[in-house]
Amino acid sequence: MEYCSILRSLRVQKFYTQQQIADLLSVCQKAYSNYENGTTKIPLESLMLLAKFYNVDMNYICGISKVANAYPKE
């Protein structure tokens, strides 16, 4: 799952720990770790929250696009 490596890359580039992102998503650190390593599929709502948090569009965070466009303004 390509989105797993994208999640990790975004987190590392922004200098966040897994615990910080887990807190944002209201899950334990182990659950977030499982999202990044592909053991557990991440819920769509969490992907949407992370896209907004990292300011990237869903196409990028899901691995559909290689271009990290900004999250759409409402």
CATH code of 42's domain: 1.10.260.40
Full pLDDT tens readout for the chain, 74 residues: 689 999 999 999 999 999 999 999 999 999 999 999 999 999 999 999 999 999 999 999 999 998 888 998 87
Number of domains comprising the chain: 1
Domain-located, residue 71: no
Domain-located, residue 14: yes
Phi-psi region of 48 (alpha: psi -120 to 50; beta: other; left: phi over 0): alpha
In this structure, what token pair is assigned to residue 13?
């580039």
Domain-located, residue 37: yes
One-letter amino acid of 18: Q
One-letter amino acid of 19: Q
C-alpha distances out from residue 36 to 4, 40, 68, 74, Å: 5, 8, 18, 28
Domain-located, residue 74: no
What global pTM score does this model have? 0.90
Domain-located, residue 65: no
C-alpha distances out from residue 51 to 27, 32, 61, Å: 17, 15, 6
Domain holding 29, by residue range, is 2-59
Domain-located, residue 6: yes
